[in-house]
């Protein structure tokens, strides 16, 4: 194994992982704040891809900019979905509400996928960008331009979310609502609003990740299926509810997927991911960045 | 909580009403129902959509020309079932559609892996089944009700290899190194198998890359990097899942890999390829298919394009169109809509003209005792200027073949 080739595998893995990471932090945020497992997360990503495609076709907006422009409408969409649907099954007795949440998000996922198939047809679409088929050359190592841009933007967006959560009052209120909803409400924090905010941000982030993905990946109604399992693995790997954890989890998945190919045939690419996942769960059940569950 | 139950009631009502709203007129009692089990959702939904376009066109033609004459002008009605994206879903779709009402014959299910499952259901329920799938095993199980109109994968491999070695020799670039790149769905696997086991070695060709994945493919860098470093003289290519294939082709362009690509299957010649990767990447890529519009079919293609708005016609609508017509012919001969009688008619049928043979080369439908169409020969289709043309055999080619420079 030549050293440059090894570097290429690592770099490729990290670039792939960057977008996984952005996809996963939205899911991680929603779980962390609301304790909701959102099965429809991948479908909102798919809708984000379509909106980016629409921007590109209707207004000739470059998908990298289009990805950012998905943030506001999807934040609003997330907020509305929370208000109309999720708010009815969150809060209250968590044990009792859990089934309803699972069924609701799973149902939402089915409705979104099939409605999109009906309305937009299953014909795959793609945004043709020059940078999807060009690479930056660092000596013998090639960095695909689309994936590099997507990686950098994912990093910036994740950084902004982190700053928002740790440096602003609203972010702190959000975390307070996540840590202890009851105590937060004593501090005049409207937990329901915080949940809406978290869901809106979570959806907006995954839509933007979809937009970045659309710079090099074809768009079809069922595209979520190719990514949703990896998102969940990333979130659990990083520690349920931890934002940095979800980000690192996404990166690790990309890296493991790529490095697995050094030792295993292609058909077993995702086996590497799940072996790593099981190892982490075995050695550190709370995930890499997770906290142990509180005991009373 | 009360509002939740109200919502659930609304959702349930919609779910129950949905089918009523979307199904058109209820068929009259003497209509002949045929089933189309194809992926209408999931990652192969586009192929199912294309198949349905072909079936709809044939049914409209048959019904507008007076229906099935032997049954007093009975109309054909299509019952489609969604094979989804897994064998389990395909099998349960077939089970559902074939047991809910009397179905005279069926068509499907595009992906060989699905067809293998679906034909088991059809065999058990004794409904004749027409398939365009390639895998050899579809007609190797002694089934009585399965009819395969396409040349099987192993045969396609043999003919594709003969053809490319021939072309390469004529262009003074003999093939010494080959690569196999693609996914592990059944038709692709049956194509690679004879290449690996005997065909390549028999021609003294070395297999330098052999990378097969389970869809979806996360990233194509590693594969294309190998192609770049080994520079095979031909790449046998079987990436049936569109995003996987796009990732590979984008990388091929990015890494400037010049090796000729020989695909296996009609998934490589759908219109969306042009829109997604551009025609310059596609130019000269060729693929071996069971059917593609041939010389003399301009009218049929024109009609299809007008109906559907598709830029060109490919194997999936073409074969399904012919399958519906073939079922019609079998019913005419059987003078009955009974599945067993249709099966017997299909087993005996020998026709070489009309729309029922339009998709096939050579233009004759007669099945052997296994249910394989006798003499079935694949076509080679090649991308030229953003459109796929039949280039081999020359007798039916719509353009001459071009070899990579």
- CB contact, 8 Å: B85 with chain A? yes
Q: Which residue in A218, A228, A254, A260 has the most chain B C-beta atoms within 10 A of its own C-beta, making it the best mutation to test that interface?
A: A218
Q: Which residue has the higher pLDDT, B403 or B316?
A: B316
- CB contact, 8 Å: A257 with chain B? yes
Taking contacts as CB-CB distances below 8 angstroms, the residues of chain B near A9 are 222
**Residue spans per domain, chain A:** 3-283
Phi-psi region for residue B66, left (φ > 0), alpha (ψ -120 to 50) or beta?
left
User: Considering only A35-49, B10-24, B129-143, B347-361, which range has the smallest mean pLDDT?
Assistant: B10-24
Say yes or no to pLDDT of B236 above 70. yes
pLDDT of residue B3: 54
Average pLDDT, stretch B164-182?
91
Taking contacts as CB-CB distances below 8 angstroms, the residues of chain A near B275 are 125-126, 128
**Cβ <8 Å between A132 and B250:** yes
CA-nearest residue to A271 within chain B is B214
pLDDT of residue B13: 54
Taking contacts as CB-CB distances below 8 angstroms, the residues of chain A near B211 are 265-266
**Residue A3: partners with Cβ closer than 8 Å, 6 or more residues away:** none
- CB contact, 8 Å: A144 with chain B? yes
Taking contacts as CB-CB distances below 8 angstroms, the residues of chain A near B220 are none
User: Considering only A37-46, B214-223, B373-382, B396-405, which range has the smallest mean pLDDT?
Assistant: B396-405
Judge residue B148's burial from the number of C-beta atoms within 10 Å of its C-beta, 0-12 exposed, 13-18 middle, 19 or more buried: buried
| Centroid of chain to Cα B360 | 13
- The pair of structure tokens assigned to B176 is 């010494």
pLDDT of residue A295: 40
CA-nearest residue to B15 within chain A is A111
Mean of pLDDT over chain B: 91
Location of structure tokens 């090649």: B382
Third-level CATH fold of A3-283: ABC transporter involved in vitamin B12 uptake, BtuC (1.10.3470)
ipTM given for this complex: 0.88
pLDDT of residue A245: 92
End-to-end CA separation in angstroms for chain B:
70
Taking contacts as CB-CB distances below 8 angstroms, the residues of chain A near B213 are 266-267, 269
**Cβ <8 Å between B221 and A12:** yes
Q: Tell me the pLDDT band of B5, cut-offs 50, 70 and 90.
A: low
CATH architecture of the domain with range B30-151+297-357: 3-Layer(aba) Sandwich (3.40)
Taking contacts as CB-CB distances below 8 angstroms, the residues of chain B near A121 are 49
Taking contacts as CB-CB distances below 8 angstroms, the residues of chain A near B218 are 16, 254, 257-258, 269-270
CA-nearest residue to B275 within chain A is A126
Say yes or no to pLDDT of B110 above 80. yes
SS (H, E, C) chain B: CHHHHHHHHHHHHHHHHHHHHHCCCCCCCCCEEEEEEECCCCCCHHHHHHHHHHHHHHHHHHHHCCCEHHHCCECEEEEEEECCCCHHHHHHHHHHHHHHCCCCEEEECCCHHHHHHHHHHHHHHCCCEEECCCCHHHHCCCCCCEEECCCCHHHHHHHHHHHHHHHHHHCCCCCCEEEEEEECCHHHHHHHHHHHHHHHHHCCCEEEEEEEECCCCCCCHHHHHHHHHHCCCEEEEECCCHHHHHHHHHHHHHCCCCCCEEEECHHHHCCHHHHHHCHHHHCCCEEEECCCCCCCCHHHHHHHHHHHCCCCCCHHHHHHHHHHHHHHHHHHHHCCCCHHHHHHHHHHCCECCCHHHCCCCCCCECECCCCEECCCCCEEEEEECCEEEEEECHHHCCCCCCCCC
pLDDT of residue A99: 83
Number of Cβ pairs closer than 8 Å across A and B? Answer: 120
Say yes or no to pLDDT of B295 above 60. yes
Across the interface, which of B184, B272, B281 has its CB nearest the CB of A125? B272
Q: Which residue in B8, B179, B211, B218 has the most chain A C-beta atoms within 10 A of its own C-beta, making it the best mutation to test that interface?
A: B218
pLDDT of residue A95: 62
- CB contact, 8 Å: B48 with chain A? yes
**Cβ <8 Å between B4 and A89:** yes
- The pair of structure tokens assigned to B265 is 């299957």
Please give the Cα distance from B108 to B99 (Å, whole number).
16
**Residue spans per domain, chain B:** 30-151+297-357, 154-289+379-396
Taking contacts as CB-CB distances below 8 angstroms, the residues of chain B near A123 are 46, 49, 272
Q: Which residue in B219, B239, B245, B279 has the most chain A C-beta atoms within 10 A of its own C-beta, making it the best mutation to test that interface?
A: B219
Question: To which H or E segment does residue A150 belong?
Answer: helix A145-167
Across the interface, which of A218, A257, A265 has its CB nearest the CB of B276? A218
**Cβ <8 Å between B45 and A117:** yes
Say yes or no to pLDDT of B140 above 90. yes
CA-nearest residue to A100 within chain B is B4
Across the interface, which of A117, A128, A216 has its CB nearest the CB of B41? A117
User: Considering only A86-90, B260-264, B349-353, which range has the smallest mean pLDDT?
Assistant: A86-90
pLDDT of residue A267: 86
- The pair of structure tokens assigned to B33 is 């129902």
Taking contacts as CB-CB distances below 8 angstroms, the residues of chain B near A216 are 247, 250
Third-level CATH fold of B154-289+379-396: Rossmann fold (3.40.50)
Average pLDDT, stretch B379-405?
90
pLDDT of residue B9: 56
pLDDT of residue A96: 64
Beta strands in chain A (DSSP E): 135-138, 141-144
Please give the Cα distance from B206 to B177 (Å, whole number).
5
pLDDT of residue A202: 96
- CB contact, 8 Å: A113 with chain B? yes
Across the interface, which of A125, A221, A266 has its CB nearest the CB of B212? A266
Taking contacts as CB-CB distances below 8 angstroms, the residues of chain A near B40 are 117, 122
**Cβ <8 Å between A124 and B255:** no
pLDDT of residue B378: 93
**What value, to the nearest 5°, has the Cα angle with vertex B117 and ends B113 and B122?**
135
Name the stretches of chain A with pLDDT < 50. Answer: 294-296
Across the interface, which of A9, A89, A269 has its CB nearest the CB of B218? A269
**Cβ <8 Å between A144 and B242:** no
Please give the Cα distance from B336 to B378 (Å, whole number).
33
CA-nearest residue to B226 within chain A is A5
């Amino acid at each position: 194994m030549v050293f440059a080739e090894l570097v290429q595998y690592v770099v490729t893995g990290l670039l792939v992982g960057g977008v996984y990471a952005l996809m996963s932090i939205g899911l991680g945020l929603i779980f962390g704040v609301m304790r909701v497992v959102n099965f429809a997360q991948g479908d909102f990503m798919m809708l984000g891809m379509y909106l980016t495609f629409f921007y590109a076709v209707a207004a000739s907006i470059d998908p990298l900019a289009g990805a950012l422009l998905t943030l506001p409408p999807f934040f609003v969409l997330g907020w509305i979905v929370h208000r109309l649907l999720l708010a009815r099954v969150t809060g209250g007795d968590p044990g009792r509400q859990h089934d309803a949440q699972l069924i609701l998000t799973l149902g939402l996922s089915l409705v979104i996928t099939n409605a999109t198939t009906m309305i937009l047809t299953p014909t795959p679409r793609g945004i043709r960008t020059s940078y999807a088929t060009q690479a930056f050359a660092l000596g013998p190592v090639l960095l695909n331009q689309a994936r590099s841009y997507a990686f950098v933007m994912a990093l910036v967006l994740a950084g902004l979310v982190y700053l928002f959560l740790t440096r602003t009052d609203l972010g702190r209120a959000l975390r307070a609502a996540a840590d202890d909803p009851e105590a937060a409400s004593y501090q005049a924090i409207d937990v329901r609003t915080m949940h809406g905010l978290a869901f809106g941000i979570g959806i907006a982030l995954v839509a933007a990740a979809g937009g970045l993905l659309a710079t090099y990946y074809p768009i079809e109604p069922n595209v979520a299926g190719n990514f949703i399992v990896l998102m969940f693995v990333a979130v659990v790997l990083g520690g349920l509810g931890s934002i940095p954890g979800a980000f690192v989890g996404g990166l690790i998945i990309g890296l493991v997927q790529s490095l697995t190919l050094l030792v295993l045939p292609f058909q077993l690419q995702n086996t590497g991911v799940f072996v790593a996942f099981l190892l982490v769960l075995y050695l550190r059940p709370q995930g890499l960045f997770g906290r142990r569950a509180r005991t009373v | 909580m009360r509002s939740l139950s109200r919502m659930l009631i609304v959702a349930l009502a919609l779910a129950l009403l949905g089918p009523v709203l979307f199904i058109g007129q209820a068929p009259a009692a003497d209509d002949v129902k045929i089933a189309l089990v194809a992926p209408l959702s999931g990652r192969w939904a586009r192929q199912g959509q294309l198949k349905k376009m072909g079936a709809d066109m044939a049914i409209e033609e048959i019904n507008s020309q007076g229906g099935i004459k032997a049954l007093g002008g009975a109309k054909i009605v299509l019952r489609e079932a969604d094979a989804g994206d897994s064998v389990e879903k395909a099998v349960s779709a077939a089970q559902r559609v074939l047991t809910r009402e009397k179905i005279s014959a069926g068509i499907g299910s595009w992906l060989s892996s699905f067809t293998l499952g679906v034909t088991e259901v059809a065999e058990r329920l004794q409904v004749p089944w027409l398939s365009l799938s390639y895998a050899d095993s579809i007609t190797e199980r002694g089934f009585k009700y399965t009819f395969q109109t396409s040349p099987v994968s192993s045969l396609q491999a043999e003919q594709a290899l003969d053809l490319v070695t021939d072309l390469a020799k004529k262009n003074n670039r003999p093939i010494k190194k080959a690569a196999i790149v693609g996914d592990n769905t059944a038709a692709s696997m049956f194509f690679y198998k004879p290449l690996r086991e005997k065909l390549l070695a028999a021609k003294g060709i070395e297999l330098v890359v052999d990378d097969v994945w389970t869809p979806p493919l996360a990233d194509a860098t590693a594969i294309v990097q190998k192609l770049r470093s080994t520079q095979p003289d031909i790449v046998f290519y079987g990436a049936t899942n569109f995003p996987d294939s796009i990732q590979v082709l984008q990388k091929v362009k990015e890494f400037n890999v010049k090796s000729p690509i020989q695909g296996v299957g009609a998934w490589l010649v759908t219109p969306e390829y042009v829109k997604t990767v551009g025609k310059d990447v596609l130019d000269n890529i060729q693929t071996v298919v069971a059917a593609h519009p041939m010389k003399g079919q301009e009218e049929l293609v024109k009609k299809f394009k007008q109906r559907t708005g598709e830029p060109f016609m490919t194997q999936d609508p073409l074969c399904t169109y012919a399958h519906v017509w073939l079922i019609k012919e079998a019913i005419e001969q059987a003078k009955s809509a009974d599945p067993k009688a249709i099966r017997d008619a299909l087993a005996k049928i020998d026709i070489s003209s009309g729309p029922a043979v339009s998709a096939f080369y050579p233009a004759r439908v007669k099945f052997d005792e296994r249910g394989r169409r006798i003499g079935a020969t694949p076509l080679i289709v090649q991308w030229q200027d953003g459109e796929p043309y039949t280039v081999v055999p020359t007798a039916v080619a719509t353009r001459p073949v071009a070899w990579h420079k």
